[in-house]
Structure 1
Amino acid sequence: MTKLSVNINKVATLRNARGGNNPNVVRVAQDCQHFGAQGITVHPRPDERHIRGQDVLALAPVVYTEFNIEGNPDERYFELVKAVKPAQATLVPDAADVLTSNSGWDTVTHAAYLRQLIQDLKAAGAGRVSIFVDPVPEMIQGAAEVGADRIELYTGPYAEQFHTDPKAAVAPYTACALLAYQLGLGVNAGHDLDLHNLKFFKQEVPHLLEVSIGHALICDALYYGLANTIQMYLRQLS
């Protein structure tokens, strides 16, 4: 079964909009796990507009499933990895001013940089390192060559095309997942996956180990409740 890691950034966004500690991101992470989530994902950005560095430190003792820290590997990110030693560190090439992640790494152009990053993250205590990539075979090959343990396929383009041509939308992901498996890479996926497109993606993409879902899941929880929503997503993956 593909694991569901719940990204709780949007919970922190809601908290930050009002100040204080409501909703409590630590309590939400605990509840997500209690309700069946097999991991918790956070993506602390430099401006701390949602998850803050202090949140990451506070979450570390309570995440007993799998803690995944995403982010652009700046000095602050490295300090958090050193302090927390997460099960997974996911490298995302976010510019400082982007609203949300919108592209993967060029693992060929930045091969030397990524190779050193992965070595440093492992030395800092990351259990494994995943690289956020577009569904392009050359980028998958490059991820294997720099020593990544996994890739996370950027599924934004899939979600955009799904409603008009699902077969065409998923085809590059199927091919890249097969290639990754052949190269010894684990396969994760994330971005704009939801209750409408997740089941088809899971059916068509082989060797899918984990999906990270935040925005859509938290939006659905407003209508269905958090416990029920997590179970609905897990059913799409079963």
Structure 2
Amino acid sequence: MSEINQIPPITETTHDLLTETIRAGAKEIIRLAVEAELEEYLKQFRDLKTDDGKAAVVRNGHLPEREVQTGIGPVTVRVPKIRSKTGAPVSFQSVLVPPYVRKSKSLEAAIPWLYLKGISTGEMNDALEALLGPGASGLSSSTISRLKTEWGKEYDVWRKASLEDREWAYIWVDGIYSGLRKEDDKLCALVVIGVDGQGRKHFLAIEDGVRESKQSWKEVLLELKHRGMNAPKLAVGDGALGFWAALEEEFLR
């Protein structure tokens, strides 16, 4: 009887090799992309020559290698340098790997996800190290607090953006309860999703509310009116009386 070939079990070493392979691939992709950036940048100098007819702007080694924290852990990058033989000041700055960048957006995107899983600010660094390895540095409580402040500013800009440039055909509404309470009131997030004339869906509002009350929904709808939302042709929601009473008061009178 012939032997049966057995597939070796997946071990921790196998996982480590897979991670390192992914990182090596990412490093090579970044290198090629930055090289393509450099070649495109140097095109503007191709007609610039020295007195002896040679290229006036040329490559000049690399900046020191540095690590960028990503969603797959730390990846090392090297950005090339250039110099001018004429003495004119020139420099190459990669858009993909800007100067001094230490964390990719993919890593910062992991932080709100961890919050949704109930990880506190003080535990965030430990959680990221468990996910990405001990190289996940530079994410102190103060760094995470700064990111939270930035997210708050981005949310404020989003929630005040004009809605006048689209015709809103219909809206979906709902109240999402988190289980949190404020004294005797049950808190929820009031969500409005709009569909424009081309059939595209957009989040229009995500606001705090109290028990889906008429007053809470009225404040949301009033803000949407101030931002320029037209009266929709159709509204879809559950039987929460607060929304329907507020809708009639703000858009149907």
TM-score range, shorter chain: under 0.3
Whose Rg is larger?
2
Normalization by structure 1: what TM-score? 0.22
Q: What is the TM-score when the length of structure 2 is the normalising length?
A: 0.21
Between Structure 1 and Structure 2, the one with more strand by share is 2
